[in-house]
Amino acid sequence: MPTNAEWMARDLKVLWHPCTQMKDHEWLPVVPIKRGKGVWLEDFDGNQYIDAVSSWWVNLFGHCNPRINAALVDQLETLEHVILGGFSHRAVVELSEQLVEITPAGLDRCFYADNGSSAVEVALKMSFHYWQNCGQKKKTRFVTLSNSYHGETLAALAVGDVALYKETYEPLLMDVITVPSPDCYFREEGESWSDYSERQFEKMELALEKHHQEVCAVIVEPLIQCAGNMRMYHPIYLTKLREACDRYGVHLIADEIAVGFGRTGTMFACEQAKITPDFMCLSKGLTGGYLPLSAVMTSTPIYDAFYDDYESMKAFLHSHSFTGNPLGCRAALATLDIFRTDDVINANQQLIDVMKQACAPLADHPHVAEVRQHGMVVAIELVKNKKSREAYPWQERRGLKVYQHALSRGALLRPLGNVVYLMPPYVITPEQIHQLVEIMLEGIHIATRD
Ligand code: PMP
């Protein structure tokens, strides 16, 4: 069996890895994975790693989960794929029924795409097209939050605001209205999350007041701006936003691609604000992290605005080849079955408490500005100066040092800049959480010692 080094050499001859400066791999090894089981990944040299980031936030119930595997094997022998234009299949019907059931009341229709970015594209296009169909031709713009992230395709990138990914492509991107985020990292000392989020909402109110006639929708990542360094805010912001969107006649798009399926402690983050968005984008955990599939949930009134005689040209003529792929849908059904039979949302409460207790002492570290948590996501913000919160220059790549240390200790922790975080599969044990926090602390010591 070839070793890590042999796989890496072959890999580097032909691959171009995502989100990577390939030159880094002159000194930073690629880790070729031979197999996965539960929270563990194993490489070709026999090293094992706890997947603390759920392989880019997708995995919910462990790698090679026996229940999802069994469902997929069955599906594979029944139907691997079929065109969804004019055709249908059992898995997509059952999944749609269940998604309508579990998402907030009023989201009655599912439109499928095949990854998160395309779901965002669908929601943006549907919102715009809805207003066109309703004769509101001036509505052509979108409102987004600073520090947001919605994917890498051009429209998804345009409504995002992470400079690292966006800046280069700026000349290609549509113009959006960017409102300061409710990101509670910037709250005043002694100010509560809810007070700060509420205070930040005033800026959104002003933007909507000024621009609502030209705005189709506001798009947000509910409660956690994940790619934007796991910055978090209070549900009050979403409650107020829902109310304002209704008042101003603007759609609300909730991008729950990263936070959906239990990450924030509830099945969907919107539940904590008791709101129903006009569009909810789902992906990642939708298939338990097995296969690329995404869904955009929307309401009957929006669906109805497209429903007319063909010649009216009101139809939503958007498609992707793998829309509603049966294997993806079946993995999703198996995933939802685990949520139900194992009462996962309630069971996770214990893990949430363990993560909280285990990470609390990290706040005392001289280079940790904040330890923050929403449900199954905990993030540790490293800073150069704890008192002034002066950040480490990004060029120093402190987080990368934590990544390297963690690999040497059997953990896949992939920080975002200077933010180290845990977003583990739900099959992690309390002991494994403690082990990860220990590794994280060692890594933080190493990364901040000079
Ligand atoms: N929206 C959010 C909130 C995300 O976190 C991501 C992926 N990290 C996306 C959209 C894009 O999803 P994908 O990578 O599947 O295109």
Q: Domain ranges in the chain?
A: 31-64+345-448, 69-341
Cβ atoms within 10 Å of 35's Cβ, excluding its own: 11
Ligand 1 site, residue 399, Cβ cutoff 6 A: no
72, 95 Cβ separation under 8 angstroms? no
**63 alpha carbon to ligand 1 midpoint, in Å?**
20
Ligand 1 site, residue 113, Cβ cutoff 6 A: no
Ligand 1 site, residue 255, Cβ cutoff 6 A: yes
Give dist(CA 15, CA 26) in Å, integer.
Answer: 14
**294 alpha carbon to ligand 1 midpoint, in Å?**
10
Give the nearest ligand 1 atom to 259 CA: 3
Tally the C-alpha atoms within 13 A of residue 368's C-alpha that lie toward its C-beta: 19
| Adjacency order of strands within the sheet including 251-255 | 109-113, 294-298, 279-282, 251-255, 215-220, 141-145, 177-179
Cα(first)–Cα(last) distance of the chain, in Å?
A: 41
Give dist(CA 104, CA 101) in Å, integer.
Answer: 8
Per-residue pLDDT tens digits of the chain, which is 450 residues long = 899 999 999 999 999 999 999 999 999 999 999 999 999 999 999 999 999 999 999 999 999 999 999 999 999 999 999 999 999 999 999 999 999 999 999 999 999 999 999 999 999 999 999 999 999 999 999 999 999 999 999 999 999 999 999 999 999 999 999 999 999 999 999 999 999 999 999 999 999 999 999 999 999 999 999 999 999 999 999 999 999 999 999 999 999 999 999 999 999 999 999 999 999 999 999 999 999 999 999 999 999 999 999 999 999 999 999 999 999 999 999 999 999 999 999 999 999 999 999 999 999 999 999 999 999 999 999 999 999 999 999 999 999 999 999 999 999 999 999 999 999 999 999 999 999 999 999 999 999 998
Q: Which residues pair with 219 in a beta bridge?
A: 144, 253
Q: Which residues pair with 179 in a beta bridge?
A: 145
Return the DSSP state at 283.
-
Distances (CA, A) of 221 to 3, 111, 449: 41, 19, 34
**26 alpha carbon to ligand 1 midpoint, in Å?**
28
Give dist(CA 267, CA 168) in Å, integer.
Answer: 36
Report the nearest-CA residue for atom 7 of ligand 1: 151
Mutate to test the pocket of ligand 1, among 117, 224, 231 (most ligand atoms within 8 A of CB): 117
**227 alpha carbon to ligand 1 midpoint, in Å?**
8
Report the nearest-CA residue for atom 14 of ligand 1: 116
- To the nearest 10 degrees (0 to 180), the angle between helices 430-448 and 398-408 is 130
Ligand 1 site, residue 149, Cβ cutoff 6 A: yes
**Under CATH, to which class is 69-341 assigned?**
alpha beta
* Dihedral of alpha carbons 377, 337, 235, 276, sign: positive
Ligand 1 site, residue 222, Cβ cutoff 6 A: no
The CATH number of domain 31-64+345-448 is 3.40.50.300: no
Amino acid at 127: S
Report the nearest-CA residue for atom 2 of ligand 1: 150
Give dist(CA 245, CA 299) in Å, integer.
Answer: 15
294, 118 Cβ separation under 8 angstroms? yes
**116 alpha carbon to ligand 1 midpoint, in Å?**
5
Give the nearest ligand 1 atom to 56 CA: 8
- To the nearest 10 degrees (0 to 180), the angle between helices 66-76 and 326-341 is 150
442, 405 Cβ separation under 8 angstroms? yes
Give dist(CA 226, CA 230) in Å, integer.
Answer: 4
Ligand 1 site, residue 119, Cβ cutoff 6 A: no
Q: Quick one: pLDDT at residue 450? A: 84
Ligand 1 site, residue 144, Cβ cutoff 6 A: no
From the list 342, 235, 225, the residue with the least C-alpha distance to 288 is 342
Residue 368, token pair as written in the block: 């940790």
Return the DSSP state at 213.
G
Ligand 1 site, residue 160, Cβ cutoff 6 A: no
pTM exceeding 0.95: yes
Ligand 1 site, residue 150, Cβ cutoff 6 A: yes
Ligand 1 site, residue 283, Cβ cutoff 6 A: yes
Report the nearest-CA residue for atom 10 of ligand 1: 150
Give dist(CA 435, CA 426) in Å, integer.
Answer: 15
145, 179 Cβ separation under 8 angstroms? yes
Q: Quick one: pLDDT at residue 330? A: 98
